[in-house]
Amino acid sequence: MSGPVRVLLADDQQLIRTALRMVMADIDDMEVVGEASTGAEAVRLTAELAPDVVVMDIRMPGMDGIEATRRITTDPSARSESARVVVLTTFDDDDYVYGALRAGASGFLVKDMALDDIIGAVRVVAAGDALIAPSVTRRLIRDFAAARPEQATARRELRGITDREREVLTLVGSGLSNTEIATELCISVATAKTYLTRLFTKLDARDRVQLVILAYEAGLVSVG
């Protein structure tokens, strides 16, 4: 990505938006291009400003962050080709997190995370790298399995991918980052990214979250 990461902040709490804006103002590779206090405003500004990353609160008045995320990622009249969404949540909001991921979010952050960690996560999402930690990946797969128990017996068939790509998909499903995949397979990080790009194309996956789900559906990783 050339130039700074363009960020839209969507949160009904002005204090949170102000804190993030102030931190990002001092970072050379990041630029806040807009702020929204409602889900509807986030959808409108995403279409107008085409940010790289939308940092999206879940609980907002009117349209919540889950519906706003769905519109940004799937609605032809509202979506931005470049925008990726990271939702904000609390530790106890697993249902909301999973709903947001199904709506098209590329990952999630916790509001009591250190600001530096939030900034790092925004960079990760903008680059298309792993955001979801292995422990969270396991929880995501567990929740997905509970919601769709039929997948335990009816596994998805993956066609058109090579044995090496299947290995990479398995590691993605286990929560490994590009760097960790490269180490595991004794390849360069650039090569690992190339395999990920091929998987996105061949499997018509939007991001790593979808690859995690596909890995589970294909039986490459399990809840246990």
What is the pLDDT confidence band of residue 145, given thresholds at 50, 70 and 90?
low
Whether the predicted pLDDT of 133 surpasses 60: no
Ranges 53-62, 112-121, 140-149: which has the least confidence: 140-149
DSSP string, 42-106: HHHHHHHH--SEEEEES--SSS-HHHHHHHHHH-TTT--SS-EEEEEE-TT-HHHHHHHHHHT-S
**How is residue 114 annotated by DSSP?**
-
What is the pLDDT confidence band of residue 93, given thresholds at 50, 70 and 90?
low
- The CATH architecture that domain 5-127 belongs to is 3-Layer(aba) Sandwich (3.40)
Whether the predicted pLDDT of 210 surpasses 60: yes
How many Å apart are CA 73 and CA 82, to the nearest integer? 10
**How is residue 151 annotated by DSSP?**
G
**What CATH number was assigned to the domain covering residues 137-217?**
1.10.10.10
User: 7 in helix, strand or coil?
Assistant: strand
Question: Phi-psi region for residue 107, left (φ > 0), alpha (ψ -120 to 50) or beta?
Answer: left
Whether the predicted pLDDT of 127 surpasses 80: no
Question: Phi-psi region for residue 114, left (φ > 0), alpha (ψ -120 to 50) or beta?
Answer: beta
Q: Residue 129: what pLDDT?
A: 63
Q: Residue 43: what pLDDT?
A: 94
pTM score, whole prediction: 0.70
Whether the predicted pLDDT of 134 surpasses 60: no
Whether the predicted pLDDT of 21 surpasses 80: yes
Q: Which two tokens stand for residue 182?
A: 């490269």
Ranges 56-65, 88-97, 134-143, 174-183: which has the least confidence: 134-143
Q: Going by C-beta distance under 8 Å and a sequence separation of 6 or more, which residues neighbour residue 19?
A: 115
Whether the predicted pLDDT of 147 surpasses 70: no
Q: Which of 189, 162, 179, 176 is nearest to 221 (CA)?
A: 176
The 10s digit of each residue's pLDDT in 25-59 is 999 899 999 999 999 999 999 999 999 999 999 88
Structural domain boundaries in the chain: 5-127, 137-217
The 10s digit of each residue's pLDDT in 148-206 is 555 444 456 788 899 999 999 999 888 787 888 999 999 998 899 899 989 989 998 87
Q: Provide the mean pLDDT of the chain.
A: 82
